[in-house]
Structure formats: C-alpha cells, structure tokens
Amino acid sequence: MNNNFLAEAESADSTDKLKACREKFVIDDEQVVYLDGNSLGRLPLASKALAQKVVNEEWGKQLIGGWNNRWYSLSSSLGAKLSPLIGARPHEVIFADSTSVNLFKLAYAALQSLPSRKKIVIDAFNFPSDHYILQGVAQMLSAGHEITIIPSTDGVTIKDKDIENALDEDTALVCLSHVGYQTSFKYNMKAVTQMVHKVGAKIIWDLSHSAGAVPVDLNGCRADYAVGCSYKYLNGGPGATAYLYVREDLIPDSQTPVWGWFGDAKPFAFNLQYTPAEGIQRFLAGTPPVLSLSTVEPALDIILEAGIEQVYAKSKKQSEYFLKMLEHLHHQFPDLVIASPKDPEKRGSHITIQHPGAAGITQALIKPAHSNIAVVTDFRKPNFIRFGITPLYTSYQELYKAYGRLYEILVNKEYLNYPETIKGVT
C-alpha cells in the first residue's frame, strides 16, 4: 500500500470540476464502490422522478392522449438529443429496439446495398452478440457471404494494418466495436473508416462502450452506420432502448428487413401496402417502448450539461491514476497483469486486468468477508476483471478504495476462499 495515492485522490477530488454531477445520481450506499457503469449506469434522480411522472400522470391520466403529447416523437427527439454526443446530425439518429436488433437491421441494409460483394469482416474483440447477428444475417440472405474474423496479435489491441490487409474488392461490410468490451481497446475511427471506404465497403461502428464516455465524430469520419446501447455510460436504465445512426446520404437507399408500421411513411393511414418513411424513421418497426425510452432523456441531459470533453478529460485522468496504482500492484504481485492499452488514445473508459484467480478476486471485491468496502466490478472469461470508470459519479477516492481492496485480497489470498465460477449476471 502506498499512501501517497490517497493524498493524490483527495487532492484530485477536491479540485474536480465534475464533482457536483455525482449528486444527480441515486447513491444508495456510500460504502459501495460502483465500478460497473460500463455494464449498467447508475440511476439519475431526474430519471427516477420522470419514470414516476410518466406512469402516474401520463399513462395514468392521459391514457391514449399521451401519444399526441410526447410519446409519438420520442424515438426521434431522443435521437436528435444524442446526436451531438456521437458527432451526427439530428435527423441521422433514432432510438429503437436493442443494439442487437439494430445491428441486424443495419447489417441487412449494408449488405443489400452491395449485393455482389460477399465478404464480411469483424474482429475477435467484438461483442459475441455482434458476431451472432452477422452469422444470422449471412445465413438468412443465403447469398454466399463469408465472415472473416481478425485476431488480436497481442491480446490487447487490434492492429489497423491487420484490418487493412483483410479488405478487398469483395468486402461488403466491416463491423467493429469502437471501444472493445474486453480490453477497452479503442480504434482510430477515422483511419479505419477511410481504409474501409478505399475498397468501397461499408462500416458499422458499435458505440456501446463509447457513447457518453469518449467523444465520437461519426460525421467527421464519414462513418456509414452505427449502433449502440443506452444503459451503459449513457445511464438510460436496464434494457433501455438502443439507438442507430445512418449517414444522411445513405438513408434513401437503405432498406430495413423489418417492415413494420412505425417505419411506414404514414403509420396512421392504415394502408395495406408498405412505403418506407423518407427519413431515419424507416428503421423503426413497431410501437416504441415509452417507459424505457423516457428514462434515457434526463440521463442524456446530465452528460450534455457536463460536456463530453470534460467527461473524457476526467476519464483519462482517472484512468491514468488507477493504472499507476495497478502498476504498483503488478510489481508486488506479478500474476496481476494490466490488459488494457497503455496509450490513453487507444483506450475507452474501463480498465481491465488479468489474474489466474480473477473469478475469486471479483467475488471478494463484490462480497468481502472482512471488509466494509464492497467494490462492484465484473468478471469476463477466461480471467479478466473490468473496472468501469464513469467520471460523472466515480471519485478518485473510490478508485483508491478499489486499489486498497485489491491489495488486501492479493496479500491475504482472499480469492482462494471463493468458488472458481460465478453464478448469475456480473
């Protein structure tokens, strides 16, 4: 243990410009260090209040009239609200369905736009659901698409060159997570998008670990398509509605595979022949889930008010601080290895470590036997532990507490007292 780290945390917290943001969230127990905002963000007080209002006032009293007041345009108005956080124009973004379903719709649209090309490129770091969706779309189209998976050569990053070498004139689609869920590796979106366009292919960026954590400039990179979820760094709530982006000039020729009435040009004309809506609304399918959409808005307001540049600056500073402590632990306990990129430009807002006892360590952090500090992190197979940094509510002293607990767990070998597998969701 090194107590200069504590003094550093106290000083950084006292001058932190985002300190007041923490008060905008429900903090049920100050003893719990929550470092899992990369899986499920905390509940904003304003979302709690709005959820009650939507149920009691809007659903309870307005009933069907609610559609004409606020609900009907919510998918689009929230898309417009999110757009500056991902560098898009307001009419290029819409909230709908889950990330997986949105990826399915956009992968279909992308492949349909380049029917003679048969190659799909993805990397080994992308989220399993993204792999499954592409496998499913390829199978559904029965057009001979083949999926190429780019491996990581160092276990932490993917080299731009390795993506470039996989691209050719037969490549239709590249689908990558901007920030990878395992090691937090972040691509250079502009460079990769340019190399994809050079061979005439399309790219879908998954922003699930980027939006709300790191600045994203879809327009500046001329990205074709993007998807993402709103329950991680955007703090929209469990299962909150996801979003999708289609670059303006691609919308008119982009076809969704799900022809539902909300994607029709005139849903309430009740025509029997489908005509796609002109705009991004064509990617809606059915009635939007108003309750889960509603909690997204106050959460977005907090980030917009704080400013994504400020959030990102604090994320980098907190990550550097946490990494410094992890390096310290690594020297004492060489089995603990940092599995995130060292270069802040190549990283998102979580830090991953590896240790042979990772499952036990995670459980000892979450449910300590002899400490009153619980640290909520998550375990990812085979031996990763992720620490999510959410600058809106994570303090430096919390990171110090996480380091302190890691030290105790390693020095006392507490992890040996826990089972080697973890049940349920982590």
Q: Tell me, yes or no, if 127 is annotated catalytic.
A: yes
Whether omega for the bond prior to residue 252 falls within 30 degrees of 0, making it cis, is no
> Considering 24, 119, 186, 386, which one is annotated as catalytic?
386
The binding site for ligand PLP (CB under 6 A) comprises 98-100, 127, 129-130, 177, 181, 206, 208-209, 229, 242
Quote the Cα angle for 233-283-269, to 5°. 130
Q: How many CB atoms neighbour CB 22 within 10 A? A: 18
Structure tokens at 208: 């699930």
CB closer to ligand PLP out of 206 and 224: 206
CB closer to ligand PLP out of 108 and 127: 127
d(CA 85, CA 351): 22
CB of 102 to ligand PLP, least distance (A): 8
CB within 8 Å of 277: residues ≥ 6 apart? 263, 264, 265, 284
Structure tokens at 174: 């590249």
CB closer to ligand PLP out of 193 and 395: 193
CB closer to ligand PLP out of 167 and 229: 229
Give the amino acid at 289: P
Q: Tell me, yes or no, if 104 is annotated catalytic.
A: no
Q: Tell me, yes or no, if 322 is annotated catalytic.
A: no
> Considering 34, 95, 231, 400, which one is annotated as catalytic?
231
d(CA 290, CA 393): 26
CB of 227 to ligand PLP, least distance (A): 7
> Considering 34, 125, 127, 322, which one is annotated as catalytic?
127
CB of 97 to ligand PLP, least distance (A): 8
CB closer to ligand PLP out of 105 and 405: 105
Q: Tell me, yes or no, if 206 is annotated catalytic.
A: yes
d(CA 184, CA 195): 22
CB of 253 to ligand PLP, least distance (A): 25
> Considering 130, 206, 264, 378, which one is annotated as catalytic?
206
> Considering 232, 247, 282, 314, which one is annotated as catalytic?
232
Residues in the chain: 426
Whether omega for the bond prior to residue 115 falls within 30 degrees of 0, making it cis, is no
CB of 39 to ligand PLP, least distance (A): 8
Environment class of residue 273 by beta-carbon count within 10 Å: exposed (0-12), middle (13-18) or buried (19+)?
exposed
Q: Tell me, yes or no, if 386 is annotated catalytic.
A: yes
Q: Is 69 helix (H, G, I), strand (E, B) or coil?
A: helix
Environment class of residue 54 by beta-carbon count within 10 Å: exposed (0-12), middle (13-18) or buried (19+)?
buried
364 and 415 in contact (C-beta within 8 Å)?
yes
CB of 100 to ligand PLP, least distance (A): 3
| H helical segments located in 333-385 | 358-366
CB closer to ligand PLP out of 24 and 202: 202
Catalytic positions are: 127, 206, 231-232, 386
